Amino acid sequence: MRTFVLTMALWALLCVPSTLFSQKTSIENIEPRVEALLAKMTLDEKIGQLNQVVGDISTGTAVSKDDMLSQVRAGKVGSVLSHTNFDNKIKIQQTAVKESRLGIPVIFGFDVIHGYKTIFPIPLAQAASWNPSIAERIERVAAAEAAADGQNWTFAPMVDVGRDPRWGRVMEGAGEDQYLGSRIAEARVRGFQGNDLSENFSIAACTKHFAGYGFGEGGRDYNTVDMSEQRLRDIVLPPFKAAADAGSATFMNAFNTLNGTPASMDKHLITDILRGEWAWKGMIVSDWNSFGETIVHGAATDDTDAAAKCLTAGSDMDMVGGVYVKGLKKALDEGRVTQKQVDEAVRRVLRLKFSLGLFDDPFRYLHPQRRKETLEKAEYRILARETAAESMVLLKNDGGLLPLSAASPFKKVAIIGPYANSIGNKDYMSFWTLGLGARQYDSTKVVTPAQALKPALEAMGFEVTVTEVCINVTCDEVAYSAALKAAQNADIVICCVGERGFDCGESRSVANLELPRGQETLLRIVSRGNKPTVMVVFNSRPLVFPWANENIPAILCAWQPGFEAGNALADVLTGRVNPSGKLPMTFPRATGQIPLYYNHFNTGRPQQTFGTLWTSGYLDLASTPAYAFGHGLSYTTFSYGDVKLNKSTLKMNEILEVSVDVSNTGKVAGEEVVQLYVRDLAADVARPVKELKGFEKIRLAAGESKTVTFRINPAVDLSYWNQDLKFKADPGKFNVFVGGSSDKVKEASFEIKI
């Protein structure tokens, strides 16, 4: 059963502003303090504030490391990235505050991607809950732990829309849809930042990667991005806008070129759109040496050129590249940048430090006692377990094989596979939480399926064996025969397959989405035992497993659930938690179908039936997905009544109400994500076949019904960026769809008249 009471108490605690360590820093008194400080700064000190150096771990390409303390003492460091050692952080801050000329504190940044010490499900999994409050609660805890350990600033949320599962970083985002992505983005920003950045449990968010990074050609990380301005504005930018509106204190540039311009020096993106159209006031940091990489892209000649181009585009802080240190002075001397531009960037950095309360008490986040009291509380594990279970997606459950219960006609359960008990190999988490050398995460804290599911099933009267095979290696004959033997000796098999933690995240793109290292063959071999099989896949992205889709009766997508992997899995497989996750990304049938996403255009020749020539499809495979966006089953069933509209024609300034009765027609309580989609049938340009415009997660007892009502405001919800780059809706006919998955909907029509 869910332990809402405890986690809500924890939630309340984290929301309470603390006055223990400092007075509040009000925005009004920041500006004069920024100006007073700026007036005292030398050019070197200003450049120092724009300079971020790497701490004790590296998350990117090699960079030169000077003696950090002497740099800090000389006022040449504004920020330190990825520093884990707590005592050293104190030493660095002491040096900055007590030994540098102006005593400006440094700001510590860290990639807090799915938890800081307590590891939660990956962001893509959080999005699969379709419950933004989950993301917010996770980030509140992550922020509390990070802040207590001296971090002031996270490089999250990543809000890049991801339509290509080959790209390793889809695990860091909210999937393929900009509407769901926007709701998750704003929730994560709220979670990190709380009500006030200067609170002890808040850290600054950094919305990344601005912009287009998810659209790299071929799914290769860092690769070229080329897209129309309409696609950029309709699909890519909405989650960034949502994060900006939610108050994200900082943004990060992207590595890629966008329509030929490296994003770090893209004035159109940064100055025209972000700071201009959106009136966003925060600070923007480069990605890891992305100022320096403008030279590698072939868009800048040297450090001076790169510094001039990035600063004048509107980028503020240089992450680890040292480009401003090496090139900004010369750029200023040559008149390539103005003093005013340098000062403006420095102001943004100082404002951030003031907002975090770092000037009021530079050691407020470096308090050993608070650190001890805050890190890894038992309650956090409860939240990790709840959220992991709520993220899991039941892809298939033929014949109601799941959940396993005392009434199941089986006695002996075999848990088999590389992820049955992968404790030593740091799985069930992403690269971000374990791949980084000196990072302090202790992956032995993860609860594996063998550790939790086995005793849970035994307590229900099952006999359980665990057979670990193919751990960290490609399956071989020995593994296959051990697995087959285990399956033959059981009545039901739970086969745990998936991806290694190290294979997920940045620079982990793949050309093949098939289950790696012979694991689909493992499933085939196991099936020779003729026992019903449950496949549990621990994945960081949509994977391809065509044989399993055809032949395995029950498939659960567990993602990378974090520390509570085994407990959450036990909760779902035993029915203590009824699965309610829905896919935030389409699962293709084959890698060759990529990109495959639900909100595509119709084309002039849509394919209705596989094999029809002269239509948009493949000769050798249907163009439909294995599992559609929004798909996810429950242990109960839901039925949808007809879609009712409060009017069938309306004016642009009127609100349309869309209602549907949803009933739980099964035998157990469950949660359903009711999804609302719209299609503009004839706009001034072609529009997608469906676009998500709303969703609501509801809980229904067995036999219970509820009416769910969505409100559509045409000027906002039906507008798109047209050929003239105007954001507007067109009058005409629309279809509206409501259902529990993008491919299972009821529909109605309406018309907008001028």
Contact positions vs ligand BGC (CB under 6 A): 59-60, 81-82, 111, 155, 208, 287-288, 506
* Structure tokens that stand for 515 in this block: 């289950």
Burial of 641 (0-12, 13-18, 19+ CB in 10 A): middle
Give the nearer residue to ligand BGC in terms of CB position, either 288 or 720: 288
Helix (H, G, I), strand (E, B) or coil at 723: coil
Cβ atoms 558, 182 nearer than 8 A: no
Cis-peptide into 62, omega within 30 deg: no
* Structure tokens that stand for 404 in this block: 């396993």
Distances (CA, A) of 378 to 197, 200, 257, 601: 25, 20, 44, 48
Give the nearer residue to ligand BGC in terms of CB position, either 68 or 393: 68
Residue of 287, 303, 305, 571 marked active site: 287
User: In 10 A of CB 184, how many CB atoms?
Assistant: 31
Q: How far apart are CA 480 and CA 654, in angstroms?
A: 63
* Structure tokens that stand for 745 in this block: 């909907």
Cβ atoms 107, 351 nearer than 8 A: no
Please state the φ and ψ torsions of residue 746, each to the nearest 5 degrees. Answer: -105, 150
Q: How far is the CB of 298 from ligand BGC (least distance, A)?
A: 20
Q: How far is the CB of 212 from ligand BGC (least distance, A)?
A: 13
Q: How far apart are CA 522 and CA 551, in angstroms?
A: 13
Give the nearer residue to ligand BGC in terms of CB position, either 432 or 480: 432
Q: How far is the CB of 208 from ligand BGC (least distance, A)?
A: 5
Cβ atoms 618, 722 nearer than 8 A: no
User: In 10 A of CB 600, how many CB atoms?
Assistant: 16
Give the nearer residue to ligand BGC in terms of CB position, either 233 or 508: 508
Cis-peptide into 409, omega within 30 deg: no
Give the nearer residue to ligand BGC in terms of CB position, either 210 or 480: 210
Q: Per residue in 316-349, is it b (16+ CB within 10 Å) or e — as a string?
A: bbbbbbbbbbbbbbbbbeeebbeeebbeebbbbb
* Structure tokens that stand for 332 in this block: 């200023």
Cα first-last separation, the chain: 52
Q: How far apart are CA 295 and CA 632, in angstroms?
A: 46
The residues that bridge with 3 in the sheet, in sequence order, are none
Helix (H, G, I), strand (E, B) or coil at 233: helix
Distance, CA of 235 to chain centre:
16
Among 48, 52, 37, which Cα is nearest to 328's?
48
DSSP assignment string, 364-383: TT--HHHHHHHTT-HHHHHH
Catalytic: 287?
A: yes
Give alpha helix (H) positions in 556-646: 565-573
Among 607, 598, 615, 617, which Cα is nearest to 675's?
598
Q: How far is the CB of 241 from ligand BGC (least distance, A)?
A: 20
Q: How far is the CB of 85 from ligand BGC (least distance, A)?
A: 17
Q: How far is the CB of 154 from ligand BGC (least distance, A)?
A: 9
Q: How far apart are CA 680 and CA 398, in angstroms?
A: 36
Helix (H, G, I), strand (E, B) or coil at 672: strand
Sign of CA dihedral 129, 134, 139, 142: negative
Cβ atoms 406, 461 nearer than 8 A: yes
Q: In what order do the strands lie in the sheet with 318-319?
A: 153-154, 107-110, 79-81, 51-54, 318-319
Residues tagged active-site: 287
